[in-house]
Amino acid sequence: MRFFATLNAADPQATLAQVGATPALVAPPCALGLVADQRAWLAAGPYRVGALVAVGEVTLFNRADLLAALGDTPLAPTCSDGELLLATYAAFGPPGLGRADGLFALAIWDGTCLTLVRDPVGGRTLFYSQAGNVWAAASHLLALRRWPLLRPSLNLSAVQSFLTFAYIPGAETLLEGVYELLPGQYMRLGPGAQRSSGFAWLPQEVPPDPALSAADYIALLRHELEATTQAMLPSDEEVGVLLSGGVDSSLVAALAARLHTRTPRTYSICFGDELPNELAYAGLVANHCRTRHRVLRFSGAQVAAALPAAVAALDCPVGDPLTAPNLLLARTAAADGLRVILNGEGGDPCFGGPKNLPMLAYALQHGLDDPAALAHTYLRSYRKGYAELPRLLTPEALAALQHAPPLEERVQPYLTNPQMQSYLNRLLYTNVRTKGAHHILTKVERLTAACGLEGRAPLFSRAIVATSFALPPALKLRGTCEKWILKQAVADLLPAQIIERPKSGMRVPVQHWLRGPLHELANDLLLGPRAQARGLFRPALLREWMAGHGMLWPRQGMALWMLVTLELWLRVYVDGYSY
């Protein structure tokens, strides 16, 4: 259930409202049903424990652990997940939220302060802002953007972040003065514009135990994978799995098939049989696990038609060309009657996937003594728009960014985290806290929720993230074998061809779409009068890229896709368009 909350910091009154669950976008504030005063809201609040009342979106995967920790607290075993989380907060305070494994965003009113909390890994989002003496928070950015006191304007610093990462890491958003709560963070908003925050949970490196062998660690990981997947399976109903054919999604499909009482439905995406794809691998896994498999073929025209709705569903833009196909897949799964769909997201950031080897090689060659150089190399490894910023942004935009914090500061604190002794773990920590929380998980959650589904990522649960940092780094990246221990933990579940194959990733024909069904849309969006009026990008360079010149072809397609995504997003969240 989506929610919106406000707090008058000068004359403390909390106004909170739960927004009815619907696949549609959040309605304007006049239709939110905001309660006029504190007394009326207290009577209507969805969750109440003692003097605390709360609204939120809560799905818990370790209910039994939390109920056991509460002991004799008078709470019914059949209580809702929201009530259970609120009772945990009441009993243990903000640090108690670190005990919860699940997807949640919650606003808690205690009569004086409004406390915002977000789940440990960032599966759900929570945004906040201040206008005058009034705080406002919402689980969806569009609800906050439609708050009458907010005057949305573009945050140019976040624009360059998006063009560098293809998402926006950290607390900033593209709306000036609007911020995102970080994963595992809690924030207390009180009278007189008071604000304090802390973290209920952060990943912690656990030193290797010399008494444990590689086989012991493999068994430990296997146990956690089974327990986590089991906890995410819906009770006595069908579950779907997005099956790409890679080891991560394949192991989730295999565990779901082994542990669930119902045969899983698996879905694979293809963009035409004439293009390179992984359908053979996905089919091999589906046959091996005896799932009900379905191949979805999406044309460029279908992707172009779905792209505006996919972008509008995202709180912050994601320059991933799979956004629209993922939305089309979610629509199909919802039409098949599913409520929950699993995915294999999380294997790479947690267990040492691609892009770590070049960073490790750089560290071996140049050392770890220059944090700024490490951060610079990390940004370049994304191969998005970082190197193009000086010639892509207009002189006016570059001048406005002259005093903006360096982009390297977005990742440097993670790469130099003193709590992580292993440099590989620092890289994984950076991936988990940036790309995981602000791209992978939020993209999955928003696109599935837009179709009335709940997307769940077993490999990105709090339990699996914690387990990852308790494994010896040498078992995650063994020589040049990426995710070695993860593959060993599930080797008996999958065909050898899947375990042994190198990662290739799903190939999306962005360049062909931009030459075909997306060409007119991209041209209108990037070179039209509204985009020109923003004054962000040099039209001459955009025309050069649209004509297929000026950059390596694959990178050019990705750069244009990011720019198209950004312009579509700005029209909804800044200009107020509806798709």
- Binding region for L-glutamine: 81
Alpha-carbon separation of residue 508 from 286, 320, 321, 505 (angstroms): 22, 10, 7, 9
Known binding-site residue numbers for ATP: 242
540: left (phi over 0), alpha (psi -120 to 50) or beta: alpha
The answer to whether 410 and 169 have CB atoms below 8 angstroms apart is yes
The tokens of 224 are what? 């956690």
Amino acid at 268: S
- Per the listing, tokens 């969240």 go with 573
User: CA–CA separation, 325 vs 286, rounded Å?
Assistant: 20
User: CA–CA separation, 157 vs 99, rounded Å?
Assistant: 35
Q: Which helix (H) or strand (E) holds 5?
A: strand 2-8
Known binding-site residue numbers: 81, 242
Distance of CA 316 to the CA centre of its chain: 10
Cβ-proximal residues to 451 (8 Å cutoff; 6+ apart), any chain: 23, 327, 330, 331, 333, 334
| Helix, strand, coil share of the chain (percent; to 5) | 45, 15, 35
Alpha-carbon separation of residue 454 from 54, 263, 343, 439, 447 (angstroms): 21, 18, 11, 16, 9
User: CA–CA separation, 566 vs 558, rounded Å?
Assistant: 12
The answer to whether 169 and 434 have CB atoms below 8 angstroms apart is yes
Distance of CA 414 to the CA centre of its chain: 18
User: CA–CA separation, 372 vs 370, rounded Å?
Assistant: 6
Q: Which of 498, 489, 447, 490 is nearest to 278 (CA)?
A: 498
Q: What are the DSSP calls for 144-208, one per residue? A: HHT-TT----B-HHHHHHHHHHSS--SSB-SBTTEEEPPTTEEEEEEGGGEEEEEES--------
Q: Which of 296, 382, 378 is nearest to 559 (CA)?
A: 382
